[in-house]
A and B are shown apart, each in its own frame.
Chain A
Amino acid sequence: MPIEVPALLEHMIQALRSKMLSFPTPPLMIGIHSGGVWVAEQLYPHLQLPDSLGKLNIAFYRDDFSQTGLHPSVGASDLPYDLNDRHIILVDDVLYTGRTIRAALNELFDYGRPASVTLVVLAERNGRELPIQADIAGIRLQLDSHQYLQLNIAAFTLSIQNR
């Protein structure tokens, strides 16, 4: 039974609006390529942010280069602003091991020293390998290790698949 994404997004927008009240300056929203960019594009129009949406491609920052080589979806990150002292809303689709977020944080800090980073994900699941947590999650799930989450952009659904 697929999970309906619009309901999750609605919940995330509500949570983000109240979170944003705590920022003294308007935050920057940055999506992680490629699923996170899609999620961020769904959230962005509802939040009246002054800056354009940033896109982070972490292919060059992954920790599995020596096992798998260069990730096929390399591309440049598009962060056309100064990150120093800005509050960042970092968006990804699924938080699982935490390694993607580790790589994204490393890349972000190569661009500057943000005032804070808030992690927003569509779905958070168990299986963390690093001390990383989501501040806002559309849904939190307990899955078996052979299961994974598949985002279907066309149908706006999230489904649990077996490997």
Chain B
Amino acid sequence: MNTIQFDPNGRLKHFISIEGLKREFLLKILKVAQSFISPSDNKIRKVPLLRGKTVINLFFEPSTRTRTTFEIAAKRLSADVINFNITASSSSKGESLTDMLHNLEAMHCDMFVVRHASSGAAHFIAEHVSQHTHIVNAGDGCHEHPTQAMLDVLTIQQHKGDFAPLRVAIVGDILHSRVARSLIHALSTLGVMEIRAVGPKTLLPQHLEKLGAHPYHNLRQGIRDVDVIVMLRLQRERMNSALLPSEHEYFQQYGMTQSLLEEAHPDAIIMHPGPINRGVEMTSSVADCPRSVILQQVSNGIAVRMAVMAITMGVPLSPPEA
């Protein structure tokens, strides 16, 4: 439970984790995100909501997709955006993180979008910024990546409508995946029927059941009759020990192929947070098949990030009615 996310009036001030957010908040974010998408042509138009506000993308870890979609989202809201590449900046000159934050705040920044390799980094920064600065977590270590989870559930909602009857399989490196952790929280809060976590024992965290997910070690069984399949990227950069024999062997056991896809529900959709390792997590034919909604996820990322920025900066979320 992350109470730092709320101001004393129960309004969402920072967006750091899905854990601890009520169903009403998640549905509100989805509603606002959807309303940025024009129903007639699926385009996202520029709106003047955040004119005069400054957003700083504070990325301590490399990212293309997330940083770019955050940048586009802020620009579609008419905010000014500055991208801050930390590895090339003052931390290499010996300045402490809090000193750097206070310097950036002195430049009248209204929001930091933070990505960091350490779990809890966004929370730490939220504790140390002034009252009027908002924090959005763009991924912290192995902890959470809440906007990715929201764009995933928006994509699921667009295809499936109601969450209640859905079976969702999350496949792959769940141990190192902040996407999986945020998504499991979001799906269980939204009340899907079943969440399955499919992967080798070395890449599934312990006590998955406490999060509401059922562990599977066999891919064929794990995706049987599911409505949504979320494939995760193998996070080699976070693997400190020999958890996998080889990528080739991983593909033999857990790679998604066209024939395996037959096991899932005929209308099942395939998702992947990107970047895809073709031939490791899935074959190219699966990645490019009509049931793959991977590029739609990227587009939805813009709308969801706009919604999160507008809601946190705009004092809008009244506490859900009791």
Contacts and interface: CB of A to CB of B under 8 A. Distances in A.
User: Which bracket fits the contact residues of A?
Assistant: 20 to 34
Interface in B12-66: 31-32, 34-41, 45-50
A70 B314 contact: yes
B41 to A, nearest CB: 8
A78 B39 contact: yes
A74 B314 contact: no
A70 B32 contact: yes
B244 interface: no
A69 B314 contact: yes
A156 interface: no
User: Which bracket fits the contact residues of B?
Assistant: 20 to 34
A80 B315 contact: no
Nearest to A63: B48
Given A69-B315, A70-B314, A70-B316, A61 B36 contact: no
Contact of A70 (B38, B45, B311): B311
Nearest to A60: B47
A61 B38 contact: no
Q: Is the interface of B mostly helix, strand, loop or mixed?
A: loop
A78 B314 CA distance: 24
Interface in B214-250: none
Given A69-B314, A70-B310, A80 B45 contact: no
B31 A74 contact: yes
Contact of A80 (B35, B40, B50, B316): B40
Kindly name the residue among A59, A61, A69, A78 whose own CB sees the greatest number of chain B CB atoms within 10 A: A69
Interface of A: 57, 59-61, 65-66, 68-70, 72, 74-81, 106-107, 110-111
Interface of B: 31-32, 34-41, 45-50, 310-311, 314-316
